[in-house]
Amino acid sequence: MLKNNPFNRLFFKLLLGFWLCSSLIIALVSLLPLLQQSHDRSPLPPSLERILKNVAEQIQEEPQLLENRNLQRLFPRRNQDEPRNKHEGGPLRLYLADAEGQVLNTKRISRGFRRFQLMAEEAEQPISHQFRDELIFGPYSFEVNGKAYQLFGRFPDNHPQPWFFFFSDNKLLTAALATLLSGLLCGLLAWYLSKPLRSLRQSANALAKGDLSSRVDVATVNRGDEMGQLAQAFNGMADAVQTMINNQQRLMGDISHELRTPLTRLQLALALGRKKGQQSKELDRIGYEALQLEALISELLTLSRVSLASHENKLMLELAESLSQVLDDAEFEAEQQGKNLQIDIPEALKLPQHPKTLSRAIENLLRNAIYYANSQITISAALVGKYILITVKDDGPGIDPKELEAIFKPFYRPDTARDRQSGGWGLGLAITQAAITLHQGSIVAENLISPTGQRQGLKLNISLPVS
């Protein structure tokens, strides 16, 4: 019995899963502005600070550079033995500002530079920032003749941005990627939650097809939520159904076996009476019904044995070899009735099988086909994927479409000439289906239809797994 842990319920798993998924996406998206802000306020690199320092020292040494006509001559000074700076991939632009932040050496000031001045003022220290198409850094503060100045630098757009700036600048693409990631995480969560349902569905389908040994896998049963409880309940139900059906089949076999004892005594009494010369129509009728009863009991025992033979090991044999005797007998029987049996079974086809059971199933189909066919019967086999498809066809009257599925039920006798003439008990096809189910296969009946829409025969398709 599962522990009554409320946090182990499926409701909390769903809630926690979707909550974590949404929180993760929100956190990743929210982290981008924080990364950008952290990068905006990063300290000024020493290499860029040296560039501004050299220019400031040059201005301090030559104060005449601050005159209007000389301000355009501002340029960085570099020692000959100093290696070229890694940022010198394009022309350097310098901005000289006074204490109030007014740029002195140019009137063409970009919006990005104004924005950078505010960022630097908030940071209260020299910083650098990579915009979409420019790198701006500074300020470097210095004094000339008692007046305070600030120096800024700018490189063009040949400087790579950090990776997270790509997402910050492409908001629609970022939203699309966030949606895709959210769908992926939710898909993984849905797969985890639907996996036990798939196992339950497969086991239920197998049980519905007659595989009474089908059970939900151990991993699903050991889950601690409602799925695990449902799997345990399903396996318990399957155990009860299998036990009930096996007991019913065993009971039918036992009853059929016990009926043979009084039937044998009845047949012995009839034989003794005939030996003493007691002959009449009534005794002949009793003898006939006794033979019919013996045949019925034999069919019931066969059905019981086939249904309970699942514990026996299968043998890997060639299909043509295991059916050789059945095919020979069917060919002889068809010839005696003036009908043609066409056989097309390749010798290379192999499958795991119970030879006697499978032979009995095919024998029942062939006898029915020979009995009802007008002149032509065909049996063929072919490998289709992982299954061997056996087809039995005849050119007889066919069956009412409403009864195509019911003919495999025990004791079912459709109200058609096909079964009325046979005088059977409706056990032949039931035995066939039990044998096919024992091999984890399936059997389907369908009518052959002429171009005019009339029934012109019956076709039975048997599908048997090769492994």
Q: How many CA atoms lie within 13 A of 128 on its CB side?
A: 20
Catalytic residue chosen out of the listed positions 39, 129, 159, 257: 257
Classify residue 238 as exposed, middle or buried by CB count within 10 Å of its CB (0-12, 13-18, 19+). Answer: buried
Long-range contacts of residues 182-188, Cβ cutoff 8 Å, at least 24 apart:
182/21, 182/22, 182/25, 185/21, 185/24, 185/25, 186/18, 186/21
Output the CA torsion 315→321→326→332 (10° steps): 180
Output the CA torsion 125→130→133→137 (10° steps): 30
Q: Which amino acid is it at 14?
A: L
CA-wise closest residue to 424 among 254, 283, 303: 303
Assess contact for 308 and 431: CB atoms under 8 A: no
Structure tokens at 374: 């007008």
Coil vs helix vs strand at 226: helix
Coil vs helix vs strand at 411: coil
DSSP 160: P
Output the CA torsion 267→272→275→276 (10° steps): -140
Q: What DSSP letter does each residue of 292-312 carry, written as one string?
A: HHHHHHHHHHHHHHHHTGGGS
257 catalytic residue (yes or no): yes
Assess contact for 108 and 121: CB atoms under 8 A: no
Coil vs helix vs strand at 53: helix
CA–CA gap between residue 373 and residue 368 (Å, rounded): 8
Name every residue whose Cβ is closer than 8 Å to that of residue 414 and which is 6 or more positions away in sequence: 399, 400, 403, 406, 407
Coil vs helix vs strand at 262: helix
Q: Phi first, then psi: give them for residue 45, nearest 5 degrees.
A: -60, 145
Assess contact for 382 and 351: CB atoms under 8 A: no
Place of tokens 């570099």: 78
Structure tokens at 261: 């004892």
CA-wise closest residue to 60 among 136, 141, 153, 138: 141
Q: Which amino acid is it at 397?
A: P
Place of tokens 């997402």: 167
Helices 355-372 + 428-438 axis angle, to 10: 140
Q: Which residues are catalytic?
A: 257
